[in-house]
């Protein structure tokens, strides 16, 4: 395993952002935040104003007004509504948002159903429609799924159940015959933000419904107060960040507004409870906290058990109940981490053999991994972890209860993973049973006997799509920091300047340092005292989950890629560098 890791780590390179085209090099350095924003394509300060009046209007979403009419009619008739969600954090927040929003607008008969991934798989399948029919819904609303549910929608139609699809995943060549589809990525939709998460789509549907009901004088007639949808932006922020969709300007508004409410403790009790069990400070919560602490605990329910637990956590208004459910989710997350660690070790051992078999990796472009003992609910995280290790598209498979394989794919920049799977399916229609997803993540299923043929076909498609340079991981840096920029004030400014996330990455810098002191803390982390080159100042640093291979003890000078952060300890704040990459210098 060490051979594989060492070979890949040696390929990493730090590359600094360039000035955007049309903006010549400046003779004087720009202020820190302005430099960072320019690197991310933000040239107008107005794109850093995250007020709700700058959100794209709901009416731009194709068919959203028709969806609002359908929902308004359903409320007027007090028909039965069933929300069918997905079993991840986006699906859970979408489901909770739909239930809270519809109930606040007067729906008396609305419930939810989330397919258990181990029994029914993903989306509105005919099997789930059969289960749903026992609840006798008049209308099924899919959230964070449905755009590929051709057979499931057909089954619902045959039972006389209308289907409203709200989704954000990329459609295939055929759309389901739903009564209404709201999806910014469907053909003909001109909504500018194609990166809405499922919970974002549901937020816009509720906004359109509120407008329709207001026009009908519904709230006055029902003696209801028209709800302020902003009160649920905590759910929108959590689902958006946890689903790792690109944080374009519209999504950044949604996330930042949600974060502000969470910090002010104006959020559902379940989110507060999840923050508490994760050990994060609610008053200074960031988008990365949602992505790395809160989201994984919510996701653990869908990975190991039943996402209904997570949805219940987001639906309850009782703080004590929320805390109890959050503690159960925290326990599931610890169990998930243990399973993940074991699977990762097995995957890397398997990779070592593949690497040697395929001419020391020269023929390894797209990686498919399978072990009969792997857990279905954890293969997505496994694929992500291995992808980070080897910087290649990775698909990890596990067996389902029928003996077929369920795979979860993660990609790297330069390869649209869903399009790659579509090309495999076009060339080899017998291999894939089903697939769907995004540019960077996808899900698929196939027969066990097709695994080897699929692995070869997938590797071939990736080989054609990616060159050798694209397989070398690049660490994008915002450059070095001036002496006065490596300060507590700058660290706090960066924390507040987000939200940072997918497509709008948290600032990362690189400089040369001399190590003054080093010690291992907690057995897995390297605590450092560093001195920047050409300076007598010293600054604390930490490398989490460090690898001794990266930090040879005979070397004291390193080029480091790092994040500038605020370390809070016993009520004292100080600057600390979070080391993301280290390269020893001669």
Q: Long-range contacts of range 553-558, CB-CB < 8 Å, 24 or more positions apart?
A: 555/584, 555/585, 556/514, 556/515, 557/512, 557/513, 557/514, 557/515, 557/584, 557/585, 557/586, 558/512, 558/513, 558/515, 558/582, 558/583, 558/584, 558/585
Three-state secondary structure call for residue 492: helix
Hey, is 379 helix, strand or coil?
A: helix
In a domain, 244, yes or no: yes
**Residue-number span of the structural domain to which 444 is assigned:** 359-467
Is 197 found in the same domain as 273?
yes
CATH number at residue 383: 3.10.310.30
Helix (H) or strand (E) holding 152: helix 150-158
Cβ distance 306 to 114 under 8 Å?
A: yes
Per-residue pLDDT at 547: 84
Are both 401 and 479 inside the same structural domain?
no
Confidence (pLDDT) at 569: 82
Asked whether residue 115 falls in the same domain as residue 191, the answer is yes
Residues 111 and 159 in one domain: yes
> What per-residue confidence (pLDDT) applies to 522?
85
Task: Give CA angle at 250 (440, 299), nearest 5°.
Answer: 50
Output the pLDDT for position 362: 57
- Do residues 391 and 267 share a domain? no
pLDDT in tens, the chain (586 residues): 455 555 555 567 899 998 655 454 444 567 999 999 999 999 888 899 999 999 999 999 999 999 999 999 999 999 999 999 998 999 999 999 999 999 999 999 999 999 877 677 778 999 999 999 999 999 999 999 999 999 999 999 999 999 999 999 989 889 999 999 999 999 999 999 999 999 999 999 999 999 999 999 999 999 999 999 999 999 999 999 999 899 999 999 999 999 999 999 999 999 999 999 999 999 999 999 999 999 999 999 988 888 999 999 999 999 999 999 999 999 999 999 999 999 999 998 888 877 766 655 557 899 999 999 999 999 999 999 999 888 899 999 999 888 899 999 999 989 999 999 999 999 999 999 988 888 888 999 999 999 999 999 999 999 999 987 888 888 999 999 988 899 999 999 999 898 999 999 999 999 999 999 999 998 789 999 999 988 888 999 999 988 888 899 889 999 999 999 999 888 889 999 999 999 999 7
* CATH code of the domain in which 325 resides: 3.90.1640.30
Q: How far apart are the C-alpha atoms of 122 and 85, rounded to whole Å?
A: 9
In a domain, 1, yes or no: no
Residue at 3 is within a domain: no
C-alpha to C-alpha distance for 473 and 390, rounded to whole angstroms? 9
For residue 437, report the phi and psi dihedrals to the nearest 5 degrees: 150, -150
Coil, strand or helix: which one is 585?
A: coil
3 state SS of 111:
strand
- pLDDT for position 2: 54
318 belongs to a structural domain: yes
The pLDDT value recorded for residue 22 is: 47
Q: What is the pLDDT of residue 300?
A: 92
Do 200 and 79 fall within a single domain? yes
Do 66 and 24 share a structural domain? no
For the chain, what is the domain count? 3
On whether residue 438 sits in a domain, the answer given is yes
Q: Is residue 344 part of a domain?
A: no
What tokens appear for 560 in the block? 């480091």
Question: What is d(CA 434, CA 453) in angstroms, rounded to the nearest whole number?
Answer: 16
User: Residue 277 falls within a domain, yes or no?
Assistant: yes
Q: Are residues 380 and 442 in the same domain?
A: yes
Q: Which of 283, 314, 331 delimits the end of a domain?
A: 331
In this prediction the pTM is 0.91
Beta strands in 400-482, from DSSP E residues, in sequence order: 405-410, 432-437, 441-446, 474-477
């Amino acid at each position: 395993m060490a051979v594989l890791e060492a070979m890949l780590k040696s390929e990493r390179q730090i590359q600094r952002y360039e000035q955007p085209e049309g903006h010549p090099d400046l003779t004087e350095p720009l202020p820190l935040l302005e430099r960072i924003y320019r690197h991310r394509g933000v040239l107008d300060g107005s794109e850093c104003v995250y007020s709700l009046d700058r959100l794209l209007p709901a009416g731009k979403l194709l068919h959203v007004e028709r969806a609002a009419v359908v929902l308004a009619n359903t409320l007027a008739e007090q028909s039965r509504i069933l929300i069918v969600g997905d079993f991840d954090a986006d699906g859970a927040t979408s489901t909770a948002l739909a239930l809270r929003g519809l109930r606040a607008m007067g729906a008396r008969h609305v419930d939810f159903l989330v397919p258990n991934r181990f029994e029914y798989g993903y989306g509105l399948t005919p099997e789930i429609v059969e289960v749903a029919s026992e609840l006798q819904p008049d209308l099924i609303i899919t959230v964070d799924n449905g755009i590929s549910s051709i057979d499931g929608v057909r089954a619902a139609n045959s039972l006389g159940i209308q289907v409203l699809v709200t989704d954000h995943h990329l459609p295939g060549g055929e759309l389901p015959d739903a009564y209404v589809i709201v999806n910014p990525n469907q053909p003909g939709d001109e909504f500018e933000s194609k990166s809405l998460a499922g919970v974002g789509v549901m937020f816009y549907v509720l906004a359109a419904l509120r407008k329709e009901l207001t026009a009908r004088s519904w709230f006055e007639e029902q003696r209801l107060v028209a709800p302020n949808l902003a009160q649920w932006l905590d759910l929108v922020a959590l689902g958006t960040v946890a689903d790792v969709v690109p944080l374009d300007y519209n999504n950044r508004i949604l996330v930042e507004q949600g974060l502000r409410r969470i910090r002010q403790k104006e959020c559902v009790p379940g989110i507060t409870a999840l923050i508490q069990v994760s050990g994060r400070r609610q008053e200074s919560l960031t988008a990365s906290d949602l992505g790395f602490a809160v989201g994984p605990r919510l996701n653990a329910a869908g990975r190991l058990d039943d996402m209904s637990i997570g949805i219940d956590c987001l639906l309850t208004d009782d703080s004590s109940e929320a805390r109890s459910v959050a503690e159960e989710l925290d326990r599931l997350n610890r169990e998930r981490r243990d399973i993940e660690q074991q699977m990762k070790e097995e995957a890397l051992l398997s990779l070592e053999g593949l690497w040697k078999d395929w001419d020391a990796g020269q023929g390894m472009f797209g990686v498919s991994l399978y072990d009969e003992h792997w857990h279905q609910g954890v293969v997505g995280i496994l694929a992500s972890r291995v992808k980070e290790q080897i910087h290649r598209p990775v698909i990890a498979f596990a067996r389902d209860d029928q003996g077929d394989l369920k795979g979860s794919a993660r990609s790297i920049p330069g390869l649209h993973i869903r399009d790659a799977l579509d090309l495999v399916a076009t060339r080899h229609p017998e291999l894939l049973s089903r697939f769907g997803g995004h540019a960077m993540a996808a899900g698929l299923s196939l027969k066990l006997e097709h695994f080897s043929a699929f692995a070869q076909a997938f590797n071939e498609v990736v080989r054609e799509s990616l060159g050798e340079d694209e397989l070398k991981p690049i660490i994008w840096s915002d450059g070095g920091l001036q002496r006065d920029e490596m300060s507590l004030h700058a660290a706090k400014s960066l924390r507040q300047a987000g939200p940072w996330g997918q497509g709008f990455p948290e600032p990362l810098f690189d400089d040369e340092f001399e190590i003054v002191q080093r010690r291992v803390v907690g057995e897995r982390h390297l605590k450092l005292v560093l001195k920047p080159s050409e300076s007598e100042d010293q600054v604390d640093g930490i490398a989490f989950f460090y690898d001794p291979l990266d930090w040879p003890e005979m070397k004291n000078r390193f080029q480091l890629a790092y994040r500038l952060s605020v370390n809070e300890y016993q009520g004292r704040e100080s600057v600390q560098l979070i080391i993301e990459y280290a390269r020893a210098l001669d």
